[in-house]
């Protein structure tokens, strides 16, 4: 890979020790998925008629998609707020979003009791527009498709440039009797390459409309994830049951999105031994407090309007969880108001983690902890149930690690690390690879 | 960090304004209001008449065994297989008699089954219309051939009525459908009401049941709590209750007169009425993004030389 591109592949081996550890976790999770399909949901989970939604919905869907909102949050910043300097971060953000949403969809299929009937979502006579679930389902399916389209340029570019080393290696490894003829294979691969080269510029021309769709859809379904619990007015604790649930969920996913983009960048810089992108990160971090302050204000304003402030300060089980969630977000944001903290990778990491934890806890509070179906019902996830979720998360990390090695996803260090010194000099170095995301890489200051 | 320019701010304000406008237009149209239909079918359960024989449970299980109701069910605590009844409504039990014990002298039976709401939450939340409310009879019915098994109906139902078959690889939701496909079709009455030897379950149209209930309250005011449970709860139910004890002690939750589904639908409709808000949001964002993009293209083209 040349030095002149915005994104680069990660050098190094794919099959490392951590790869196999993750793989074994994935396999264990999928064993339990198999058990679930043979013996029913009750055999692997502690869900009951009182708590029909367990951690699969609460974590994998409601919280997981918020954590996968990095792509959404960064796309707003780059394409709507016109901050092109964050463009190098967008591809890894979209990749994690793609895995997050894809696997949320997968765990829904594990969670659904009668998944073979899911085709009814595409039959207009069965549509039920009153249902927030209907809206969430269609939006999430559409958004997953959009995410794949948004990521496609990275795949097309690497097909265009591929020398098919891996394919040839596999061919050579196969027994000559079953291996395809070398010439035919090369011809066919050449056709794939030409196809990719044909599609890539055409996709680029319309990509911006998909990108904007990728901003509209999460706005819709993230707020609807809050609307899902509006109907549970007798079951959800008054600390959380409010008409503002859709707004709170929307704001919540935005600040989680920015925080997770920071965490992802710090973690991948650390584990792939690349320099931290402090300049961009502190810029992102400066935005978070604006969103969290609105969120916290709506929470307090709504509680006092409904006369529930006393419930928040009561000191019982529910108020404890509420205070934890509230203080995590508030304290995390307070740190980010300090300019010095925004320039330090350590403090950025601490505050972003606090905000993600607090924001995620908010979603747990709404879906599980604050949910009380009545006397006699209890829920705590079983081992198998947790392992299915852990397996899915492990698959997500595994996929990320493989993809950053196969495709140009991470910001190019040579360009990016030198961002401060070179300033806008780098934009002269545009190459074909830059064009797949129509905005180009450079932002003139 | 670069400061937001005034122009950016105006763009954002414009986008938000357009969205809000669309929302406002939606909310103006969203006042539907709930019409109570007293001609729908229902049942009146009088807890003071019930003798706790559970004949209704057996009859229900006998009649509806082809529709998800097992002929018997073993309770969790029943290791020896000797107990005569399930411990709760479940994936194989549609109706159940329980006994509330206040003291040695004062106790009351109570029957659980679907309340057949005027504005059912389960119908409102089902994403694929597997839960439906029949227009004429008012029966809240379930169609397993459409159901995807998401269990949102269980989350939504304030009475915890729909039950899921957790132990089955091919599960379904189980709830009372007023014997729609069985006893009601054959004999014109639900199996439980037909069987009840004590006259505790009366089957009929909602208006007749309400009249009867208020007559009983008037005739024997000392015997009853002065309230017909289900007359106004959650927008009204077709399954009505009379009892001598406070209803919340009998496991019937206190629910405001506004149907929970009214509240959630009002908000959902406000946001999505006519799909105006999403379309407005999308087109505004497109406008901004394309404009931003053009600015950059112009900029980049000056510098990029000769890449095809």
In a domain, residue B172? The reply is yes
**Domain total of chain B:** 1
Length of chain B: 308
b/e sequence B240-258, b meaning 16+ C-beta within 10 Å = bbbbbbebeebebbebeee
Q: Count how many Cα atoms sit within 13 Å of the Cα of residue B258 in the half-sphere of its side chain.
A: 12
Q: What pLDDT score was predicted for residue B152?
A: 95
Residues 6+ apart with CB under 8 A from B221: none
Q: What pLDDT score was predicted for residue A378?
A: 92
What is the secondary structure of A51-87 as a DSSP string?
S---HIIIIIIIIHHHHTTHHHHHHIIIIIS--GGGG
**pLDDT grade for B30, boundaries at 50, 70 and 90:** very low
Selection from A163-177, B205-219, B286-300 with the highest mean pLDDT: B205-219
Residues 6+ apart with CB under 8 A from A169: none
B85 CB-contact burial (10 Å; exposed 0-12 / middle 13-18 / buried 19+): middle
Q: What pLDDT score was predicted for residue B19?
A: 46
In a domain, residue B239? The reply is yes
Residues of chain A with pLDDT under 50: 1-4, 417-445
Cα three-residue angle B4-B10-B15, rounded to 5 degrees:
115
User: A312-359: per-residue pLDDT in tens?
Assistant: 998 899 999 999 999 999 999 999 988 888 888 899 999 999 999 999
Q: What pLDDT score was predicted for residue B201?
A: 96
Chain A residue with Cα closest to B145: A117
First-to-last CA distance in chain B?
34
Residue B13 has pLDDT above 50, yes or no: no
| DSSP H or E segment with residue A194 | helix A182-227
Q: Cβ(A73)–Cβ(A34) under 8 Å?
A: no
Q: What pLDDT score was predicted for residue A43?
A: 93
Cβ distance of A39 and B169 shorter than 8 Å = yes
Q: What pLDDT score was predicted for residue A327?
A: 95
Q: What pLDDT score was predicted for residue B300?
A: 55
Residue B74 has pLDDT above 80, yes or no: no
A117 at B interface, C-beta within 8 A:
yes
Give the residue with greater pLDDT, B220 vs A264: B220
Q: What pLDDT score was predicted for residue A432?
A: 36
In a domain, residue B287? The reply is no
Q: Count how many Cα atoms sit within 13 Å of the Cα of residue A86 in the half-sphere of its side chain.
A: 30
User: B222-235: per-residue pLDDT in tens?
Assistant: 999 999 999 999 99
**Six-digit token string for A355:** 């905000």
Q: What pLDDT score was predicted for residue A129?
A: 85
Mean pLDDT, chain B, rounded, equals 84
In a domain, residue B124? The reply is yes
How far apart (Å, rounded) are the C-alpha atoms in residues A263 and A272?
A: 14
Length of chain A: 445
Residue B193 has pLDDT above 50, yes or no: yes
Q: Cβ(B271)–Cβ(B26) under 8 Å?
A: yes
B89 at A interface, C-beta within 8 A:
yes
How far apart (Å, rounded) are the C-alpha atoms in residues B10 and B64?
A: 63
Give the residue with greater pLDDT, B31 vs B143: B143
Secondary structure (3-state) at A47? coil
DSSP 8-state class, residue A11: P
Q: Cβ(B73)–Cβ(B92) under 8 Å?
A: yes
Give the residue with greater pLDDT, B184 vs A1: B184
On chain A, the residues whose CB falls within 8 A of the CB of B297 are: 438, 440
Q: What is the CATH number of the domain that holds B80?
A: 3.30.70.20
DSSP-assigned beta bridge partners for residue B164: B173
Give the residue among B260, B250, B60, B252 at the shortest CA–CA distance from B174: B60
Residue B8 has pLDDT above 70, yes or no: no
Cβ distance of B128 and A38 shorter than 8 Å = no
Q: Identify from B32, B91, B127, B163 which residue to disrupt to test chain A contact, counting A C-beta atoms within 10 A and taking the largest count.
A: B127
DSSP 8-state class, residue B131: E
Residue B305 has pLDDT above 80, yes or no: no
In a domain, residue B22? The reply is no
The bridge status of strand B239-242 relative to strand B41-46 is parallel
Q: What pLDDT score was predicted for residue B21?
A: 41
- Range of B178's domain? 41-264
Give the residue among A8, A4, A49, A104 at the shortest CA–CA distance from A405: A8
DSSP 8-state class, residue A366: I
Cβ distance of A41 and B166 shorter than 8 Å = yes
B283 at A interface, C-beta within 8 A:
no
How far apart (Å, rounded) are the C-alpha atoms in residues A312 and A129?
A: 34
Give the residue among A105, A3, A87, A19 at the shortest CA–CA distance from A404: A19
In a domain, residue B280? The reply is no
How far apart (Å, rounded) are the C-alpha atoms in residues A24 and B208?
A: 65
Q: What pLDDT score was predicted for residue B14?
A: 47
Question: Tell me, what's the ipTM?
Answer: 0.84
Place of tokens 């959630």: B264
B307 at A interface, C-beta within 8 A:
yes
Q: What pLDDT score was predicted for residue A29?
A: 95
Cβ distance of B2 and A127 shorter than 8 Å = no
Cβ distance of B292 and A80 shorter than 8 Å = yes
Residue B28 has pLDDT above 60, yes or no: no
Give the residue with greater pLDDT, A441 vs B114: B114
- Find the range with the poorest average confidence among A106-110, A305-309, B5-9, B105-109: B5-9
């Amino acid at each position: 890979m040349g030095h002149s591109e915005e994104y680069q592949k990660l050098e190094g081996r794919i099959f490392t020790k951590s790869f196999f550890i993750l793989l074994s976790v994935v396999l264990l999770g999928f064993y339990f998925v198999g058990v679930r399909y043979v013996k029913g949901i009750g055999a692997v989970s502690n869900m009951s008629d009182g708590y029909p939604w367990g951690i699969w919905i609460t974590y994998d869907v409601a919280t997981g998609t918020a954590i996968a909102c990095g792509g959404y949050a960064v796309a707003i910043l780059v394409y709507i707020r016109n901050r092109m300097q964050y463009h190098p971060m967008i591809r890894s953000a979209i990749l994690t979003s793609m895995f997050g949403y894809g696997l949320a969809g997968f765990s829904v299929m594990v969670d659904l009791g009668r998944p073979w009937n899911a085709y009814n979502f595409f039959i207009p006579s069965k549509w039920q527009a009153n249902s927030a679930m209907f809206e969430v389902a269609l939006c999430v399916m559409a958004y997953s498709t959009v995410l794949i389209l948004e990521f496609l340029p990275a795949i097309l570019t690497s097909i265009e440039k591929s020398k098919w080393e891996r394919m040839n290696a596999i061919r050579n490894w196969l027994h000559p009797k079953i291996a395809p003829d070398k010439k035919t294979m090369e011809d066919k691969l050449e056709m794939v390459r030409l196809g990719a080269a044909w599609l890539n510029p055409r996709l680029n021309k319309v990509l911006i409309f998909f990108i904007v769709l990728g901003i509209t859809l999460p706005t819709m379904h993230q707020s609807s994830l809050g609307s899902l619990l509006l109907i549970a007015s007798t079951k959800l604790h008054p600390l959380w049951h409010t008409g503002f649930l859709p707004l709170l969920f929307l704001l919540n996913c935005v600040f989680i999105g920015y925080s997770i983009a920071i965490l992802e960048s710090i973690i991948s810089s650390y584990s792939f031994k690349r320099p931290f992108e402090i300049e961009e990160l502190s810029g992102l971090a400066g935005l978070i407090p604006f969103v969290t302050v609105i969120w916290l204000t709506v929470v307090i304003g709504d509680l006092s309007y409904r006369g529930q402030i006393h419930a928040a300060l009561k000191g019982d089980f529910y108020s404890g969880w509420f205070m934890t969630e509230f203080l995590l977000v508030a304290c995390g944001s307070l740190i980010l108001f300090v300019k010095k903290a925004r320039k330090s990778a350590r403090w950025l990491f601490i505050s972003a983690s606090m905000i993600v934890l607090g924001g995620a806890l908010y979603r747990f509070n709404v879906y599980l902890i604050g949910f009380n179906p009545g006397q006699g019902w209890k829920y705590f996830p079983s081992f198998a149930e947790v392992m299915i979720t852990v397996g899915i998360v492990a698959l997500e990390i595994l996929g990320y690690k493989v993809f950053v090695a196969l495709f140009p996803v991470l910001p190019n260090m040579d360009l990016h690390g030198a961002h401060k010194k070179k300033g806008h000099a780098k934009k002269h170095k545009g190459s074909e690879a830059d064009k797949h995301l129509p905005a180009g890489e450079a932002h003139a200051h | 960090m670069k400061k937001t320019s005034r122009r950016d701010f105006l763009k954002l304000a414009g986008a938000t304004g357009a969205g809000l406008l669309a929302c406002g237009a939606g909310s103006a149209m969203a006042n539907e209001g709930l019409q109570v239909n007293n001609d729908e079918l229902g049942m009146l359960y009088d807890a003071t008449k019930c003798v706790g024989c559970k004949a209704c449970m057996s009859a229900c299980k006998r009649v509806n065994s082809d529709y998800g109701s097992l002929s018997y069910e073993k309770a969790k605590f029943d290791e020896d297989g000797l107990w005569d009844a399930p411990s709760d409504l479940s994936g194989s039990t549609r109706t159940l008699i329980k006994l509330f014990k206040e003291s040695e002298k004062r106790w009351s039976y109570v029957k659980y089954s679907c309340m057949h709401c005027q504005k059912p939450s389960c119908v409102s939340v089902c994403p694929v219309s597997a839960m439906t409310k029949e227009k004429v009879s008012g029966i809240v019915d379930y169609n397993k051939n459409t159901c995807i098994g998401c269990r949102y109906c269980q989350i939504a139902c304030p009475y915890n009525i729909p039950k899921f078959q957790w132990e089955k690889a091919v599960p379904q939701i189980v709830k009372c459908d007023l014997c729609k496909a069985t006893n009601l079709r054959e004999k014109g009455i639900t199996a439980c009401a037909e069987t009840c030897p004590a006259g505790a379950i009366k089957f009929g149209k909602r208006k007749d049941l309400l009249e009867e209930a208020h007559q009983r309250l008037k005739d024997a005011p000392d015997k009853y709590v002065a309230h017909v449970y289900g007359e106004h709860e959650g927008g009204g139910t077709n399954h009505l209750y009379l009892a001598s004890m406070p209803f919340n002690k009998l496991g019937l939750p206190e629910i405001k007169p506004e149907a929970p589904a009214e509240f959630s639908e009002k908000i959902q409709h406000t946001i999505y009425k006519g799909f105006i808000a999403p379309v407005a949001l999308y087109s505004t964002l497109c406008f901004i993004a394309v404009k931003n993009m053009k600015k950059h293209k112009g900029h980049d083209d000056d510098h990029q030389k000769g890449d095809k």
